[in-house]
Amino acid sequence: MPEFADVIIDITHEKVDRPFQYRIPGQLKGALRVGSQVEVPFGKGNHIRTGYVVGLSDRAEFDPARIKAISGICEKGVSAEAQLIELAWWMKERYGCTMNQALKTVLPVKEQVRRQESRFIRCLISHKQLEEAIAEAARKKYRARERLLRSFLETDVIPYEMAAGQLNLTRASIKPLEEKGILAVESEAFFRDPVSGIYRDGGKAEPEVCLNEEQQAAAEGIIREYDQGIRKTYLIHGVTGSGKTEVYMELIRHVTSLGKQVILLIPEIALTYQTVLRFTRRFGRRVSFMNSRLSQGEKYDQFERAKSGDVQIMIGPRSALFTPFPNLGLIIIDEEHESAYKSEITPRYHAREAAGQRARLCGASLVLGSATPSLETFTRARHGIYGYFSIRKRAKKNSVLPRVHVVDMRQELKEGNRSIFSRLLYQQMTETLERKEQIMLFLNRRGYSRFLSCRSCGEAMKCPHCDVTLTLHQNGQLVCHYCGYQVPRPSVCPSCGSPYLAPFGTGTQKIEALVKEAFPGAGVLRMDLDTTSKKGGHEAILSAFADRQADILIGTQMIVKGHDFPAVTLVGILAADLSLYAPDYRCGEKTFQLLTQAAGRAGRDARAGQVVIQSYSPEHYCIQTAAAQDYEGFYAREMEYRRLLRYPPVCVMMTLLIGSEREEAAAAAMETAAAQAKAFQEAELIGPVNAPIYKLNDIYRKILYMKSENYDILIKIRNQVETVLERRGLSRGISIQFDFYS
Ligand code: ADP
Ligand code: ZN
Ligand code: ZN
């Protein structure tokens, strides 16, 4: 039994990495665990402070006689912090990181220097009501009040200082308006929401829809079990536009009515004004939103609101999972198959897994929703580990799934069509424009864009720091999309000096030019990383398209999610196969998901939708099943392949990526690591090999794949490899990164 406990005193402090060691007194032995809230003597005066246990050990870090003892355990019940600390511990063990890294992930720290808290006044009423209020103030000759109200004719929010200064108002003239619910004085923290002004629009309550049979079956099924005290994980598998969000809202309504709180994770890209509006209209001020652009301090403020009971519903991307709700009852993950739920920084956790753990710790249920569930999730649902509900019909009246055509581009070429548009797509585009409806053109993957190559020696222009070709942009710059390296387009080949350099490939910019050429009268918008890098660029382009400011929207994966565009009746998918041949065992799954989601953008309203998929391998099962919107068919074929090659979810896979500026150092460390891993019979090894992009940012990278049915074996291998590399001094100056796929 552990003799000592590491205790952190102030979890909001930036230095959570400074735990203090305490002795566990006899009467508390066995009663403490990671996350326990304890009282300890602290500092010179030995004042009693409360802290949290973040680690347990048998060894004293210094003279045991000088280690103070824990005074007692707090009996207040398990706090949200305690649960999050326990979650951090689990993350540390499962994903391999330090406790400090895990704590920093789950507990946002206060910024060292807090910004001065500023206040704002927000108008809560509609424009019409505002005009009435102004008229009333004028009638009653409340000059100050009228001045204040007038300032809201142009804006929803004014800084408090402006009211006090420029408008010369006193607290007394603001207070009555606040009491009447016309204005609200709020702290800045409140305004760090992704979309300002939303609560005003949110004032209009959204009419509740009547759930259809399938929606109701899902909502009722989950609620019935919830009320019986059953806590588990559910999959809601609903086709695009099937009304999953309405089911979430029903679940949220029920769980919050029981005095519990809810976290809803959605991919950041889908966190648009439309989504926010929908939820605020239904739940008003009980809901708050987060995005990943918030600073640590801003996150801290958001989390404070959640802790204080100010909000009961938190909506946001991955990191919203750590909202410290005191009585969390439900976690929902929308589009659970999205790759954005996997953290690409240490700890490299998957939000789906971490949510499962958090739900267990808090006694909450977990609901996963998707039109194209990940293979892992669907497998668990099939095995009865997860509850399963499917919604096969679109929710909106008269809205049906679109008709999908697959065009064989090889045949087009054979018959003399060398354009990027097949004859069918061209014809459909023409007709759609004639009907004054909208079109989305989806280019699979941005990375496959124009690169420059030499016609004399065949050399492609590559990034000097990475093993990838440079992308030619319209401004004449060659850009590396991995490290950002840029050079002007050379006039002669750097290898052979030949002047015959020609661009290859097709990017979104090129397609935009071709579309404009082919359809000169049409308004075209383009959305990719270049056009959206400006703040709010993404939202602005989508809004413009939703407002029918253009007829055609061209884009990469980005256009697949987010807004509902009722007038879009044609979706064209160019180069559907590009993602099929990526060096990743999930490329088939990703292609299927992308095509299904992209096709799902068509015909969201009553007007029938058409989808044209252009492909060079139209017979491929991913293309075929996506075209038929046949998830089960896809699942069956894909699982055959996974079983054959023993890839997840059949096995757990762990990758080890070792990188170094010195090629020999990376190779030497990898050799030792592989030898250590080989000693474990229960795991299957592939490699080591050079990573798909061997040189990235001047770092040489080696990769080793390890597969086993047993997660714990892989964790053992990881610990062993880390220990040995450390002991032999091989880990200096190299990066060692483990990653899990299950
Ligand atoms: P999903 O989340 O599955 O993509 P949404 O919840 O966004 O689907 O619903 C798609 C559209 O259908 C939305 O415009 C929504 O308002 C509408 N809708 C959802 N449920 C119903 C219903 N029961 N009756 C009528 N319309 C509905
Ligand atoms: Zn050349
Ligand atoms: Zn580069």
Tell me the per-residue pLDDT of 62-115, one tens digit each, with 9 for 90 and over.
887 888 888 888 866 667 888 898 999 899 889 988 887 888 888 876 654 444
Strands 652-660 and 735-741, by their bridges, are: antiparallel
Pairing of strands 37-42, 568-574: unpaired
pLDDT of 645 reads 86
Evaluate if residue 499 carries a pLDDT over 70: yes
DSSP state of 198: H
Number of Cβ within a 10 Å radius of residue 175: 12
C-alpha of residue 725 to centroid of ligand 2, in Å:
43
Which of 215, 244, 246, 276 should be mutated for ligand 1, with most atoms under 8 A from CB?
A: 246
Which listed ligand is nearest to 453 at the C-alpha? 2
Q: Which position has the higher pLDDT, 486 or 260? A: 260
Say what the pLDDT of residue 211 is: 92
CB contact set of 607 (below 8 Å; sequence gap of 6+): 437, 566, 567, 569
Q: Which long-range contacts (CB under 8 A, 24 or more apart) does 28-33 make?
A: 28/70, 28/72, 28/73, 29/1, 30/1, 31/73, 32/2, 32/5, 32/56, 32/70, 32/73, 33/86
Beta strands in 556-645 (DSSP E): 568-574, 610-615
Residues 144-153 have a mean pLDDT of 82
Token readout for 451 is 């690169």
209 CA to centre of ligand 1 in angstroms? 9
Residue 230 has pLDDT above 60, yes or no: yes
Using DSSP, state whether 653 is helix, strand or coil: strand
- Per the rule left: phi > 0, alpha: psi between -120 and 50, beta: everything else, 148 is alpha
Pairing label, strands 699-708, 684-696: antiparallel
Q: Measuring CA to CA, which residue among 76, 97, 21 is closest to residue 53?
A: 21
pLDDT digits (tens, 9 = 90+) for 383-396: 999 999 999 888 87
Can you give the pLDDT at residue 205? 58
pLDDT tens for each residue of 605-664: 777 789 999 988 889 999 999 998 899 999 999 999 999 988 999 999 999 999 999 999
pLDDT at 389: 97
Q: Which ligand is nearest to the CA of 478?
A: 3
Predicted confidence at residue 314, as pLDDT, reads: 94
For the chain, how big is the Rg over CA atoms in Å? Answer: 29
The whole-number pLDDT of residue 447 equals 40
Q: Which amino acid is at 187?
A: S
At 375 the three-state DSSP class reads helix
Please tell me the number of Cα atoms within 13 Å of 259 on its side-chain side.
0
Residue with the larger pLDDT of the pair 267 and 395: 267
- For ligand 1, atom 8, the nearest C-alpha belongs to 243
Alpha carbon nearest to ligand 1 atom 9, residue = 243
Q: Please give the Cα distance from 158 to 148 (Å, whole number).
A: 9
The string over 600-610, giving b where at least 16 C-beta atoms fall within 10 Å of a residue's C-beta and e elsewhere, is: bbbbbbeeebb
Residue 274 pLDDT > 70: yes
Q: How far apart, in whole angstroms, are the C-alpha atoms of residue 364 and residue 359?
A: 4
Tokens of 386: 């997860």
- DSSP-assigned beta bridge partners for residue 331: 263, 366
Residues above pLDDT 70, as percent of the chain? 89
3-state secondary structure of 670: helix
Q: Nearest residue CA, atom 19 of ligand 1?
A: 243
Q: For a substitution probing ligand 1, which of 206, 212, 245, 275 has the most ligand atoms within 8 Å of its CB?
A: 245
Domains observed in the chain: 4-106 (3.40.1440.60), 116-190 (no CATH), 200-391 (3.40.50.300), 403-448+504-641 (3.40.50.300), 652-741 (3.30.70.600)
Whether the per-residue pLDDT at 504 is higher than 70: the answer is: no
Mean of pLDDT values over 270-287: 82
What is the structure's pLDDT at 322? 94
pLDDT tens track for 531-566: 666 556 677 788 888 888 999 999 877 777 666 788
